[in-house]
Amino acid sequence: MQKELSKDSAVYFSSFIIQSIIGILSIPIITNLVSPDQYGSYVLILSTANLLAMISTGWIGASILRYYNRYQDGRPKNFNTSIFILAAVASLLSLAMAALFLLFDHGFLSTDLLLLGLLLFLGIAWYNMVGYFPRARQHVMQFTLVKILNNILGILLGIGLCTFYKMGIDGLLWGLVVSNYLSFFLLSFFSKLGFTLSHIQESVGIGREVVRYGLPLILVNAMSWMLVWSDRYILGLLKDNIQVGIYSASYALADKSMVAIVTVFKLAALPIAFKIWETKSKVESQVFVGELARFFLLVCMPLLALLNVLAEPIVQIMTEQQYHEGYKIIPFISIGSFLFGLQVLYSIGLSFYQKTKWIMYYNALAIIINVFLNIIYIPRFGYMAAAASTFVTYLLMFVISVFASRRFFTWTFPIASFVRIGLAALFMSLTIQIIFRLLSVPVIVSLLLAMAGGLVSYVASLIYLGELKIAEIYKILRA
For the chain, the domain total comes to: 2
Question: Could you give the CA distance from residue 26 to residue 156 in angstroms, rounded to a whole number?
Answer: 9
Dihedral angle over CA of 464, 467, 471, 476, nearest 10: -130
Q: Which residues of 55-80 are buried (b: 16+ CB within 10 A; e: fewer)?
A: bbbbbbbbbbbbbbbebeeebebbbb
pLDDT of residue 458: 95
225 and 256 share a domain? yes
The model's confidence at residue 126, banded by pLDDT at 50, 70 and 90, is very high
Report the mean per-residue pLDDT for the chain: 84
325 and 458 share a domain? no
Lowest mean pLDDT among 36-45, 70-79, 111-120, 451-460: 70-79
Residue 195 DSSP code? -
Q: What is the pLDDT of residues 172-203, one digit of tens each?
A: 999 999 999 999 999 988 887 766 666 667 77
244 and 178 share a domain? yes
418 and 398 share a domain? no
Question: Could you give the CA distance from residue 248 to residue 324 in angstroms, rounded to a whole number?
Answer: 12
Residue 279 has pLDDT above 70, yes or no: yes
293 and 442 share a domain? no
Out of 413, 442, 468, pick the residue that ends a domain: 413
Per-residue pLDDT averaged across 135-159, rounded?
A: 89
433 and 408 share a domain? no
Of 195, 193, 192, 212, whose CA–CA distance to 203 is shortest? Answer: 195
445 and 396 share a domain? no
206 and 152 share a domain? yes
Q: What is the pLDDT of residues 350-389, one digit of tens each?
A: 888 888 778 888 888 888 999 999 999 999 999 999 999 9
Out of 398, 413, 428, pick the residue that ends a domain: 413
Residue 3 has pLDDT above 70, yes or no: no
212 and 78 share a domain? yes
Lowest mean pLDDT among 4-13, 157-166, 406-415: 4-13
140 and 166 share a domain? yes
pLDDT of residue 400: 92
Out of 413, 444, 469, pick the residue that ends a domain: 413
40 and 15 share a domain? yes
Whole-structure pTM value: 0.72
Q: The domain containing residue 141 runs over which residues?
A: 2-413
296 and 442 share a domain? no
Lowest mean pLDDT among 152-156, 204-208, 304-308: 204-208
The secondary structure of the chain in percent helix, strand, coil, rounded to multiples of 5, reads 90, 0, 10
